[in-house]
Every structure is written in structure tokens, then in C-alpha cells.
Amino acid sequence: MKANKNFSLLLIGQSFANIGDVLYTVGVISIIYTLKGSATAASFVPFIITTCMFISSIITPLFVGKVPLNRLLACSQITKTVFLLLLGLFLPGITASNYYVVFMVIACIAFLDGCANPIRQTLIPYYVKPEKLMKANGISETATQLIQAAMWFVGSMFLLFFSPQQLIWFVGGLFLISSTLLWLLEKVSAQVIGTAGKIEQIKEGWKTLFHTPVLQKLALIECLESLAGTVWIAAVLYVFIHDALKVDQQWWGFINGAFFFGLILGSLYCIKYSSLVGKKLESFLIVGSFLSFLLTILFSLNSIPILALAISFGVGIFTQVKNIPQQTVIQTSVHKEKLSTVYTSLGAISTGIFGLGSLLMGIVTDLFGVRIVFICSGFLLALVSMIIYKNKSLFIRHNYLRKERY
């Protein structure tokens, strides 16, 4: 795909933000654990992030139409930068008695992320020609997964050489670069939803979901996959490694890493064969979901560590081989002007279900054992596969995207 200035700015700017997000999360978890000496207190970091992103996804439609989408994305990143720099300033005075200040900053940054993520996904079809959309989604996903795979390891290494405060200042610099690049994006304005009141604006994305057959099915799939994905959180996977595989806890990093490298390989496949994938969207959705189901069931029954690595790698591949075509289906299923509200609604579904599902899977693990939760996850993915197969005629590329490129 030929270089496109706006897509490149969006990709590079968001990549700097994603690198900063991982490093800042590593630094904040380290700060909380140092202050409180409690893993439970540290575990509230991802909980707060998920909750605030859910709330943000609900109310983001209120801003769409009032502010150009590119400015909304840039302003959210600029505000994140301000909050992070404030955290860096306040950090020397934070103690075990006032550590809640850190949680307040985390909440604000997560709230802004909940706004930025659906806007970023919405902007891709504006900046990329329709025939290049599959490849653009693949490149975006590859960049995101490479960052996720590398930066959790690098973040831990950073803490060997830098204090958490120094890490926060470094992330502030990354956020400044990201803010600058995103500010340079060309203007993209979403349609204002008539004279609708605030409640109607919030409901707009949900109405589109419920009145568009393919989006109805994708919303259901989002629910099932978000719930199925909760088995891969640290709390559950740690138990599986200890009880089922009977190996040291460092294997959690190996299995997680294998999954991320599988995601990267799946993304690269979709980039290389974007034309083929674009022509057979429904086939890749069916195959990806079915093989993810089979491999998850196999993972739940397995007791061999090396095989667990291979299975996790395979799950990553087929998850991504399904997810990238699924993004293309979403982006081409409605007019571009409605995409931002559709993505905020889908974001609310995924973060809400994931937050509740994480708690549910933890309870099921304690009551019935860790293998059972992975079997449950596998059967949820089987339902996804059945839904896609029974409705395969819906999962095709539509013609809502106009031919112009900004």
C-alpha cells in the first residue's frame, strides 16, 4: 500500500500513545504495589481502566458532531498528556495515605482512552481507499500487537534502570510526540444527529446496532468473545499454569508471548493476502472462529507445557485471522458518518462484559476448577462459530464506503 500521509500520521501517533500506555501502566502498578505492598491494590489498576473506558464509551457520542473526529482524537491525547505530567509532578508527595490520587489520574486517562479508541477505528476508512481497507486494518493491528508483545517485557526492564517517576516522565514525552502527530491529521467531521437531545445521541449507536442485521450479530459475537476472552487474564492463567501444567509461573509470560506472536503472524497474513481475505470475508470469519474454538478446548485438556505454547500461538493466529476481516465488515456495514457511534457502542459492550466476565470466571475457577473455565470459553467460541456460519450471507463487504480519500 502506497504511503498515505494521514494514515501514517494516525498509525505512528497512535503507536507512540500505545507504547506510552503500556509503560505508564507498568510504572503505575509498580508505584501502587510499592506504596501498599498489596497485589489486590495493584489489581485495581486494570479494573479502574476497564470501568472508566466503559463509561466513556457510553457518553462519547455526545461529543461526536460537535468536534471534528481528528480533533477529538488529538484533544483526548493532549489531555492524557496533561494528566500524566501532573502525576509526574505530584508523585514525590504521594504516600500510602494519599495513593488514591494515582487512581484518580488512572481513571481520567482511561476515560480519555475510551473516547479515543473508537474514534481511531472510525478514522481509518476516512483516510484509506476502500480497496486498501483490509490491508490498513492489518497494518494497524500488526503495529498494536507488536507493541503489546514487546513493551510489557521492555517496561519491566525499564524499571531495572529507572524509577517509576522517571518512567512517567519518559511516557509524558511519548504522549507529547503522539499529540503533535495526531494534531496534524486532516479534518474529518461526523454528521450531527439532527437536533436530538443528549439521550438520543447516546442511543444513536445502539439503534444502529439493533436495526442493522449484520451489526446485531456482531454485537452478540462481541458479547460472547469478550466473555470467552476473560480466561486469558493473569488471575486465571496463573492458576492453569500451576494446577494444570504444573510448571513455574514464568510460563505465564511464555504462553502470553506465544499468543501475541500468533496475533502478529495472523495480522501479517491478512496484510500479505489482503485481496484474498477481502473477497472471502465470511470464510475467514468461519474458519478463524471454528479453529479458535477447537484450540481452546484442546488447551483446556492439555497438560504438556510445550504443547500449551504451540496451542496458544495457534489461538493467536486464528483469533487475528477472524478479527481483521470482522473489523472490515463493521467499517463497511454502515455509512462512515455512523461509525463513531457504532464503535463506541461495541466498545461499551466489550469493556462491560469483560469487566463482569473477569469476576465471573474467577468465581467459576474457585468453585469448579480452572479447566472448566477454559472449556466454557471454548464452547462460547463454538457458539460464535455457529452464529457466523448460520448468518454467513450477512458477513460480506458492503458498498457504503465512498471512493474518495481524504
Per-residue pLDDT tens over the stretch 329-372 = 888 888 877 887 888 888 888 888 887 887 788 788 888 888 99
Mean pLDDT of 295-305: 95
pLDDT for the residue 156: 66
pLDDT for 295 beyond 90: yes
Which of residues 323 and 402 earns the better pLDDT score? 323
Residue 365's pLDDT is: 83
- pLDDT at 406 > cutoff 50: no
- Residue 74: CB atoms within 10 A of its CB come to 23
Domain check: are 176 and 202 in the same one? no
Residues 238 and 378 in one domain: yes
Asked if the model's pLDDT at residue 43 lies above 80, the reply is no
The DSSP code sequence of 168-211 is: HHHHHHHHHHHHHHHHTSPP--PPP-TT--HHHHHHHHHHHHHH
Distance CA 187, CA 209 (A): 26
pLDDT of 233: 72
What predicted TM-score, i.e. pTM, was given to this entire model?
0.75
Q: Is pLDDT of 40 > 60?
A: no
Instruction: Please give the pLDDT value at position 377.
Output: 94
Measured N-to-C along each axis, helices 198-211 and 336-368 cross at an angle, to the nearest 10 degrees, of 80
Query: Cβ neighbours of residue 23 under 8 Å, at least 6 residues apart?
Result: 151, 154, 155, 158, 167, 170, 171, 174
Out of 18-27, 156-165, 367-376, least confident range: 156-165
pLDDT tier at 404, thresholds 50, 70, 90:
very low
Residues 147 and 200 grouped into a single domain: no
> 1-24: per-residue pLDDT in tens?
444 889 899 999 999 998 998 888
Do 202 and 177 fall within a single domain?
no
- CA 319 – CA 87 distance, rounded (Å): 36
> Is the pLDDT reported for residue 375 higher than 90?
yes
Residue 229 in this model has a pLDDT that exceeds 80: yes
**What is the domain-level CATH number for residue 54?**
1.20.1250.20
Mean pLDDT (the chain) is 83
Let me know the angle formed at the C-alpha of 351 by 349 and 352, rounded to the nearest 5 degrees: 65
Q: What is the 3-state secondary structure (H, E, C) of 326-377?
A: HHHHHHCCCCHHHHHHHHHHHHHHHHHHHHHHHHHHHHHHHHHCHHHHHHHH
| Residues 325 and 399 reside in one and the same domain | yes
- Predicted confidence (pLDDT) at residue 398 exceeds the cutoff of 70: no
Dihedral angle of Cα 267, 272, 277, 283, to the nearest 10 degrees: -70
Q: Name the residue among 321, 359, 329 with its Cα closest to residue 346.
A: 329
Residue 8 belongs to domain spanning? 1-188
pLDDT at 83 over 80: yes
Same domain, 117 and 8: yes
What's the confidence (pLDDT) of residue 103? 83
Residues 145 and 20 reside in one and the same domain = yes
Cα(133)–Cα(1) distance, rounded to whole angstroms?
A: 10
Predicted confidence (pLDDT) per residue in 233-251, tens digit: 766 787 888 888 988 867 8
Where is the domain boundary, 188, 218, 237?
188
Shared domain for 278 and 144, answered yes or no, is: no
Tally of CB atoms within 10 A around 191: 12
pLDDT score recorded for residue 1 = 42
DSSP string, 45-74: HHHHHHHHHHHHHHHGGGTBTTB-HHHHHH
pLDDT per residue over 303-319, tens digit each? 999 999 999 999 999 99
pLDDT of amino acid 94: 78
**DSSP secondary structure code for residue 128 in this structure:** S
Please give the tally of structural domains in the chain.
Answer: 2
Res 249: pLDDT: 65
114 and 227 housed in the same domain:
no
| Mean local confidence (pLDDT), 121-146 | 84
**What pLDDT shows up at residue 191?**
58
Same domain, 234 and 332: yes
Select from 165, 188, 211 the last residue of a domain. Answer: 188
Of the ranges 1-10, 285-294, 377-386, which one carries the lowest mean pLDDT score? Answer: 1-10
pLDDT of residue 312: 93
Domain boundary among 170, 188, 206: 188
Cell of 217: 450479530
401 and 264 assigned to the same domain: yes
At 182-214, the pLDDT tens digits run 999 998 876 554 545 566 666 777 888 888 888
pLDDT confidence of residue 197: 58
How many C-alpha atoms does 290 have within 13 Å on its Cβ side? 11
Rounded Cα distance, 383 and 393, in Å: 17
* One domain, residues 206 and 297: yes
Q: What is the dihedral of CA 2, 115, 180, 85, to 10 degrees?
A: -140
